Amino acid sequence: MKTADYEKCAKRIADALRLAPGEKVLLKVDTRVFTPLVPPLQTLIRASGAHIAAVILAEDTNASSEGELESLRRLFREADVFIWLPEVHQGSRPALAQALNEWLDAGRARAVHFHWNSGTYRVGYVELPPQDFIDRAYLEALDVSPEVLDRQHQRAIGLLRSGRVRVTTPEGTDLSFEVGDRPFCSQIGDATRTRVQSARTRIDRDVELPAGVLRVAPIETSANGSVALPVWRPVLTEGRNLVLHFANGRVAVQGVNADKIDQELTAAGGDARMFREFALGFNPALAAPLEAPFIAYYGYGSGIVRLSLGDNEEMGGANRGGGVYWNFIHNATVKVDDTILVMDGKLVNAP
């Protein structure tokens, strides 16, 4: 990454927010990574008339206290914007996660997530490409305009609401579900006050860059069928040649290490075994390349499908507790009744 690349990242964050004079910004940073982004971002924030009111340092800890929680609540009560920059281990300690969620749920403010490389995953056992290759793809992905993504998302939303959604793969996935009237989260990279005023869920106020994904918590009990996964990497246990069997939204796991994964889901409790989410990527720069397939930025690439288990409160779903377990599929076919939206990992019904 060159100086100009970090300046481009900073400008994209500023363009997404369109900060107003007097707005107060909280910045979360990890001093071990991506530090060249901070100076140009500071400059752009100040040039807008806004200012950085506080900096929260990343910590690799699960420690927490009531005093810390109350201190963070006070910070957020005074803030208009939260910018979350890349970390070595992307995540928030309990007090910070709670304070942030409470602030977003109150509907008073907005956040930008700029996590960069933490959202990159392997396809099966294929090694990831060099970091420079990934960085170039992410930089290109920043150029995709919110207007283009919005047009594609709105058309897809209408189609996905119109009937029963079916996801299939050559490996044997055959899962169907219904969206009903559940709210969609349309991540188009627009974090302006005007855009966030129409937010219906917490994640509508958490704007991701690069952008591109369309997310929904379908009616959980409508999910039936199976998801075939050559490899699944939950939090602790790696499973191989797995099949996730869904009956009325509840999963049973079959395959190598299925017993250990089952133990992990049991220990998580809550709705860890319930169908959580359907997500579809639209950013062409983040599509899985044929020469070196990998999942870029949490599955935001064009044609990438994400099917997950667990808590979906942030999306307006009914599941509570149990954590979140993602599964990425780069070669899915998605149909709504007889209309094809994705064929073999390629969007075919987008404007």
Could you tell me the pLDDT band of residue 350, with boundaries at 50, 70 and 90? low
Angle at 344 between CA 341 and CA 347, to 5 degrees: 35
Q: DSSP 3-state assignment of 106? A: coil
Predicted pLDDT of residue 320: 97
Among residues 174, 150, 159, 163, the alpha carbon closest in space to that of 349 is found at 159
Residue-wise pLDDT tens digits, 29-55: 999 999 999 999 999 999 999 999 999
- Specify whether the backbone of 324 is left (phi greater than 0), alpha (psi in -120 to 50) or beta: beta
Percent pLDDT > 90 in the chain is 86
Predicted pLDDT of residue 285: 95
* More confident of the two residues 197 and 217: 217
Residue with tokens 């900096």: 55
Residue-wise pLDDT tens digits, 158-201: 999 999 999 999 999 999 999 999 999 999 999 999 998 888 89
Q: Per the structure block, which two tokens stand in for 57?
A: 């340092």
Residue 351 has pLDDT above 50, yes or no: no
Residue 317 has pLDDT above 90, yes or no: yes
Predicted pLDDT of residue 227: 97
Average pLDDT, the chain: 94
Which domains, and CATH codes, for the chain?
Answer: 3-119 (3.40.1830.10), 146-347 (no CATH)
* More confident of the two residues 42 and 351: 42
Predicted pLDDT of residue 56: 97
Q: Per the structure block, which two tokens stand in for 346?
A: 């390629």
Q: How many CA atoms lie within 13 A of 324 on its CB side?
A: 14
Dist CA 220 CA 309 (whole Å): 10
Could you tell me the pLDDT band of residue 101, with boundaries at 50, 70 and 90? very high
